[in-house]
Amino acid sequence: MNAAQGLFLVIQYADLSIQLKFLPIIQDVEKDGEVLSSNLAILEDRINMRQGKIQFYGSQLFINRLSGKPYPYPIANVDNLDTRRKSKGMPPMQTYLNNWNTENYEKDLPMIEQLVTAQV
């Protein structure tokens, strides 16, 4: 593991203020190939999720307290999700989250948004 990869591992679980401070550095070292593109995607999603924004790569999940079922936090432009994931070296969403189905996600999105709001 190189230093940039080690830095990412610390930052991904840090407070939001630290994540925001180091995001430009992670973006720069990703361009240089010193950190995995998928790691940058995870960090960007995590920051967006923590700020109450929509994620782009579907990497951040939560568990419904009542059903125990995992759901992704809201995702932007879900029709192009796997294209974005592939561009960052991530597996298709179906591989990442068993039983993933775009149509079901879109149908469940209002409920997902309510669950996210309720847990804040």
- For residue 118, what pLDDT band results from cuts at 50, 70 and 90? confident
- Do 18 and 5 meet the contact criterion of CB atoms below 8 Å apart? no
Q: Is the pLDDT of residue 61 over 90?
A: yes
Helix or strand (DSSP H, E) at 31:
helix 16-31
> Could you read off the pLDDT of 20-56 as tens digits, one per residue?
999 999 999 899 888 899 999 999 999 999 999 999 9
Give the model's pLDDT for residue 119.
Answer: 76
